[in-house]
Amino acid sequence: MRRSAAPSQLQGNPFKKLKFIPPGRSNPSPNEENTKMSPDVKLFEVVASKNTFLQLQNNPRICSSNLPTEGSAREINHGHNYSGKHCPEASVMATLDPPHTVHSAPKEITVPKGQEEEEPDSQVKYFSVVWCKASKKKHKKWEGDAVLIVKGKSLILKDLEGKDIGRGIAYKFKELENLEEGHRVMIGGKEVEVMGIISPDDFNSGRCFQLGGGSPAISSSSEAAKKCFSNPFKSVCKPSSKENRPNGFQDCKPRHDPHVPNSLVMSRPDSNQQWMFSKNRFPVVDVVIDPHLVYHLRPHQKEGIVFLYECVMGMRVNGRCGAILADEMGLGKTLQCISLIWTLQCQGPYGGKPVIKKTLIVTPGSLVNNWKKEFQKWLGSERIKIFPVDQDHKVEEFTKSPFYSVLIISYEMLLRSLDQIKNVKFDLLICDEGHRLKNSAIKTTTALISLSCEKRVILTGTPVQNDLQEFFALIDFVNPGILGSLSSYRKIYEEPIIISRQPSASEEEKELGEKRAAELTCLTGLFILRRTQEVINKYLPPKIENVVFCRPGPLQVELYRKLLNSQAVRFCLQGLLGSSPHLICIGALKKLCNHPCLLFNSIKEKEYSSTWDGNEERSLYEGLVDVFPADYNPLMFTEEESGKLQVLLKLLAVIHELRPTENSKAGGVGLNLIGGSHLILYDIDWNPATDIQAMSRVWRDGQKHPVHIYRLLTTGTIEEKIYQRQISKQDLSEAVVDLTKTSEHIQFSVEELKNLFTLHESSHCVTHDLLDCECTRDKDGTGGSLEKFPNSRNCQLGPHHQKSNSLKPLSMSQLKQWKHFSGDHLNLTDPFLERIRENVSFFFQNITNQSTAI
């Protein structure tokens, strides 16, 4: 009896394809017949005739071809005249190679304890092995596959999930040095038999594990699938020539002519895919995107449609039909999906038969209507019958009617109507803003999985690789099991990658982590596509970004000073308080910057609250109420009390006056607010991604007007510090842009807190002071301040028409390139800035796409 491998473990695994033959077996098996054959060529033929070889040969591990150490791996793996690390015939041959696996009695290595032996500076070796509990039985009952690591005189045994299951030291170095196939060794109460050598490359990349734990069976012949995703559009098949078409083709013509110029024709399935997916052997028909849509598509969208098509048709990863389209915000993921749905619903490569009947689109509630509008915008209301679920349109109506083919529903409503939805067979599932599925345990994810729809597409504008566990959940959702179990994923990828990124990581750990990360990217890159804003910039109108430093009002300054002098802040700087008092202090300062009335409300709330338990908050607010006028009414607040509010009101007035038809609104994830062209960012967030989210609501495809963006900051206050933190972190690294990161996730040193809790009353702009800009230096270069120069000086360090390359947060060095000037500058050409200058101490301005014709 031996453990039989789970089917997932067998897939695409050259090691697992080795026929497992228990050593020392007495009864001859059919395999043994094979093993007796000689020469090797015959073995080869036997296997090939069973089609195994062909199948395997066509299943090279796509990414391995990109790895630099391929050559060396070949040598290590196949010392027996075979070449090709993943060369399947080599694997098969090795399996059937009689001397080692069947006929030769395995050599037993005795393990001497404590024997002193000179250990040379040996390299590490890796073996694929089988193991069982140590016993004297002649016929072993092998319990599992494992990986054996031999380092000098010590051994480590890892199961295929990457877990240590045995360790041993002080072996005879000589014996270990000569370890080879068929040898046995004892380790921690386990008996182990060597099945083959694993190359360092296969170990470092983690392939030796995940091959056993559910590696993707890579599509057999799709060229696109043989490399990491680069440009799927390049792989678009040329329409087949008329001569090549099979007989009877006349009966199933392509829906649109593939031969007309600019036609967008999908890849044809290869013979393997036809064999797998077309049971009835229909002739292959070109799938051609509706020219009506192609006319509007941007080049990146054409590529995206080809990518999605190949993924959901199982052409990129054999037998897997999932995809993640992670294009940056505003790149038209909706249109790409609509094109896919419309195509698959009317066409298919096998005899032209449509691939799908019903599609389920799950989206945040606020976007249900957006999807409806986009369908109408691109396909009109006649071509496709969509059913958006809202108050007046219940799911029941959809389930009872054969009329509709697309159900658009919010995540919340999906959970409520799951039982009804389960009664419908959906052929395609699209999850918009799908990063919310990053937790596999949440109800939404389990509900969607329960629908058992194979073709799954996640749409998201946020990068998906930031958190390795969330990444796993998303990958496992679209292509279940492709990375093995969560526990094996953690051992094989997450742990080594995280360890390698720690400052204390050794060179070895770094290398291992990098290799594992590269392998992971490679495996998943086949079905993840992300393009950045750059691809769309040229179609967008000018964007005028302004950072506006607003002078605080006198009441704000007085309250600010008082807050900084509070016991809470002082204790905070001495690190004397528990919990997170700095967060309370930061919150209070932020409120004050927005408007003193907000702080007043908080003070009063605490005062009247029966649970006056927050000591820190009490000490922070002590005496503050006395600074407000005795009759202060927070409902009757005035704009004079807040520098930013004054600027906001003036801005709204001038926008209304000069551009009465451009209405500014609030925005959220996935929304298109191209009706608005002025965006005012009033409240600063620690996370630059929040600003970018808002910005990309208005500056996106379809926008007809120049877009004006105003980031309002109160001069010299914590708002400037938060802004600086946003941009200075960018210089250090491409900091994680993740909407879930808030100030609670940020660690502050005492030095940083000191800086945060300082008010710079005399500066026009602390951010500018930090830039070490020429205009703050005197002629001798000995340093000076802006005040030494006439206020009208227009300082410009670099070209101000910077091309912003992507939706990445601004960096300090980029800001330095922006045009900047003090509020007292005389010749402000911008009519909007002109109107607010009185309350502004400093401006930064940058114009993108100034020359775009709109």
Which pair of tokens denotes residue 297? 């598509």
- Nearest approach in angstroms of CB 289 to ligand ATP is 13
The closest alpha carbon to 58, from 216, 199, 218, 181, belongs to 218
* Euclidean distance between CA atoms 518 and 500, whole angstroms: 13
- Nearest approach in angstroms of CB 445 to ligand ATP is 20
In the list ligand ATP, Mg ion, none, the entry touching 664 (Cβ below 5 to 8 angstroms by class) is none
Number of other CB atoms surrounding residue 118 within 10 Å: 6
- C-beta closer to Mg ion: residue 71 or 668: 668
- C-beta closer to ligand ATP: residue 176 or 361: 361
Contacts to ligand ATP by CB under 6 A: 296-298, 301, 327, 329-335, 374, 377, 461, 670, 672, 674, 696, 700-702
- H or E stretch at 388: strand 386-388
- Nearest approach in angstroms of CB 361 to ligand ATP is 12
- Nearest approach in angstroms of CB 329 to ligand ATP is 4
Check residue 102 and report its DSSP letter. I
- Nearest approach in angstroms of CB 664 to ligand ATP is 17
Residues paired with 840 in a beta bridge: 550
Which pair of tokens denotes residue 133? 């509990």
- C-beta closer to ligand ATP: residue 511 or 701: 701
* Euclidean distance between CA atoms 61 and 15, whole angstroms: 12
Between 668 and 687, how does the x/- string for binding to Mg ion read (CB under 5 A)? --x-----------------
- Nearest approach in angstroms of CB 702 to ligand ATP is 4
- Nearest approach in angstroms of CB 330 to ligand ATP is 5
- C-beta closer to ligand ATP: residue 304 or 525: 304
In the list Mg ion, ligand ATP, none, the entry touching 292 (Cβ below 5 to 8 angstroms by class) is none
Return all residues near 279 (Cβ < 8 A) that are at least 6 apart: none
- C-beta closer to ligand ATP: residue 377 or 745: 377
* Euclidean distance between CA atoms 436 and 451, whole angstroms: 17
- Nearest approach in angstroms of CB 686 to ligand ATP is 21
* Euclidean distance between CA atoms 787 and 677, whole angstroms: 35
- C-beta closer to Mg ion: residue 484 or 670: 670
Between 17 and 46, how does the x/- string for binding to Mg ion read (CB under 5 A)? ------------------------------
* Euclidean distance between CA atoms 146 and 161, whole angstroms: 9
Task: Tell me which residues in 632-671 interact with Mg ion (CB under 5 A).
Answer: 670
* Euclidean distance between CA atoms 268 and 576, whole angstroms: 68
Backbone torsion region of residue 332, taken as left when φ is above 0, otherwise alpha when ψ lies between -120 and 50, otherwise beta: left
- C-beta closer to ligand ATP: residue 246 or 702: 702
* Euclidean distance between CA atoms 33 and 46, whole angstroms: 11
- Nearest approach in angstroms of CB 329 to Mg ion is 7
Q: Applying CB under 5 A, what is the total number of residues that bind Mg ion?
A: 1
Query: Hey, is 186 helix, strand or coil?
Result: strand
In the list Mg ion, ligand ATP, none, the entry touching 208 (Cβ below 5 to 8 angstroms by class) is none
- C-beta closer to ligand ATP: residue 367 or 624: 367
- Nearest approach in angstroms of CB 317 to Mg ion is 25
Q: Rounded to the nearest 5 degrees, what angle is found at the Cα of 201, between the Cα atoms of 200 and 204?
A: 80
In the list ligand ATP, Mg ion, none, the entry touching 296 (Cβ below 5 to 8 angstroms by class) is ligand ATP
- C-beta closer to Mg ion: residue 702 or 798: 702
Q: Are 802 and 818 in contact (CB under 8 A)?
A: yes
Check residue 148 and report its DSSP letter. E
The residue nearest Mg ion at its CB is: 670
In the list ligand ATP, Mg ion, none, the entry touching 545 (Cβ below 5 to 8 angstroms by class) is none
- C-beta closer to Mg ion: residue 62 or 331: 331
Which pair of tokens denotes residue 498? 């995280």
- Nearest approach in angstroms of CB 459 to ligand ATP is 6
- C-beta closer to Mg ion: residue 349 or 670: 670
In the list ligand ATP, Mg ion, none, the entry touching 717 (Cβ below 5 to 8 angstroms by class) is none
Buried b (16+ CB within 10 A) or exposed e, 810-821: bbbebbbbbbbb
Return all residues near 844 (Cβ < 8 A) that are at least 6 apart: 546, 547, 767, 768, 815, 818, 819, 820
The 3-class SS string of 634-686 reads HHHCCHHHCHHHHHHHHHHHHHHHHCCCCCCCCCCCCCCCCCCCEEEECCCCC
| Interaxial angle between packed helices 643-658 and 581-594, expressed in degrees from 0 to 180 and rounded to the nearest 10 | 40
- C-beta closer to Mg ion: residue 283 or 670: 670
In the list Mg ion, ligand ATP, none, the entry touching 700 (Cβ below 5 to 8 angstroms by class) is ligand ATP
In the list Mg ion, ligand ATP, none, the entry touching 329 (Cβ below 5 to 8 angstroms by class) is ligand ATP
- Nearest approach in angstroms of CB 528 to ligand ATP is 15
The closest alpha carbon to 123, from 203, 213, 24, 243, belongs to 203
- C-beta closer to Mg ion: residue 314 or 670: 670
| Interaxial angle between packed helices 718-732 and 688-698, expressed in degrees from 0 to 180 and rounded to the nearest 10 | 90
Q: How far is CA 41 from CA 37, 55, 92, 96, 714, in A?
A: 9, 18, 12, 11, 80
In the list Mg ion, ligand ATP, none, the entry touching 330 (Cβ below 5 to 8 angstroms by class) is ligand ATP
- Say whether residue 348 binds Mg ion (CB under 5 A): no
- H or E stretch at 162: none
Check residue 582 and report its DSSP letter. H
Please report, as ranges, the residues that interact with Mg ion according to CB under 5 A: 670
